[in-house]
Structure 1
């Protein structure tokens, strides 16, 4: 984080003997601190400025406050012409070899897990040579389950029709009314069984 200013020639000339700041009657402490700061050379800054002097922001604020209190016609922005904010180079600490090795190990492990996840459903068997016995057995079991489900559906609907037809004789005396009631009950039971069967088949297809 920047905390100092790379003083330009304008600021150095104003603070030198006979400069513009001499008539501003700077406080002795402030002048001494400014002169001390301008007297320190930073090797990394000399290439960017002829003076290469670093002045903390605190001294710049104090100088600005003093000029405002005196209602001076000398403005701070004029003094800072040619000056630059000094950004020290950030030295990155060396990375630990143990940490680098551990990160590489974790990276390889994650790559292997991702590869296994992608190739989980991929088999090396050529489809031209037919399916394995396990696949054939799975298909047979699926067909058998489907046949049993359809048979149960037919038996359930038929049983609902017969039971309703026989039971409705205590309510209806006409044949047409008994048949109509049996058809309604059988249709409701059939729709319910069909809904359950479709849900079961969707679950099986999802697993495949």
Structure 2
């Protein structure tokens, strides 16, 4: 963290005027800065003390006005040397992770692929078709069962066969429409999940 800044001419003026008001520790630092002149480094502790002295003397100069044109001196951070054991361990972990990633990427690659793909690919392609065929078969069986039940059950109400067939067709149509509605809602929900 920065604890010093470079002195400018604007900052040297109040330091010269108030050098006797500083504490003994700060006075030595101010003396060194005044001898070195502009461009030398001064600590923020001395700057705070300078600002306090200016306030006590009734000056309306703010601290940021004093520091205008100054540069904050950032000390060079020296990074510690890395432990060779730690570096070796990190390299081993990186190699292990890279190997796991490679295995994950290539796990479904095999040398037994035919020209059109493996049997697992065929199964993956047939599954949706199988679902569609079962759904259509279920729809046809439901409509046919509704027709048959209505035809057999209407013999107690109607004596003519035309009336029985007509009532069976009407009931089978309603059941078919209801089945289609449920099918569309289910497909819509499945598409929404994708």
TM-score class, shorter-chain normalisation, is 0.5 to 0.7
Greater helix share, structure number: 2
Give the alignment partner of residue 27 of structure 2, picking from 35, 39, 43.
35
How far the C-alpha of 1:99 sits from its partner, in A, is 3.6
CA spacing shift, 1:52–1:123, aligned 2, 3 Å: same
Give the alignment partner of residue 47 of structure 2, picking from 60, 77, 89.
60
Deviates more, 1:68-77 or 1:183-192: 68-77
| Structure 1 moving runs of 4+ over 4 Å | 8-15, 38-41, 49-53, 72-83, 134-139, 145-148, 150-156, 188-191
Residue pair 2:10, 2:66 contacting (<8 A) in 1 also: yes
Indicate the residue corresponding to 1:44 in structure 2.
Answer: none
How far the C-alpha of 1:75 sits from its partner, in A, is 9.0
Structure 2: tracts of 5 or more residues without a match: none
Distance between the aligned counterparts of 2:63 and 2:43, measured in 1?
15
Indicate the residue corresponding to 1:118 in structure 2.
Answer: 105
Give the alignment partner of residue 183 of structure 2, picking from 173, 181, 195.
195
Residue pair 1:161, 1:186 contacting (<8 A) in 2 also: yes
3-state secondary structure, aligned to 2:2? coil
Distance between the aligned counterparts of 2:68 and 2:132, measured in 1?
93
3-state secondary structure, aligned to 1:103? helix
CA spacing shift, 1:160–1:36, aligned 2, 3 Å: same
Structure 1: tracts of 5 or more residues without a match: 42-48
Indicate the residue corresponding to 2:87 in structure 1.
Answer: 100
CA spacing shift, 1:51–1:190, aligned 2, 3 Å: same
- Asked if 1:177 corresponds to 2:163, the answer is yes
How far the C-alpha of 1:159 sits from its partner, in A, is 3.3
* TM-score, normalised via structure 2 length: 0.59
Residue pair 2:144, 2:172 contacting (<8 A) in 1 also: yes
CA spacing shift, 1:174–1:105, aligned 2, 3 Å: farther
Q: Deviations over 1:106-158 (max 9, x none)?
A: 43343334334433444434543x666x559959x96xx67984666545543
How far the C-alpha of 1:61 sits from its partner, in A, is 1.7
Residue pair 2:19, 2:27 contacting (<8 A) in 1 also: no
How far the C-alpha of 1:165 sits from its partner, in A, is 0.3
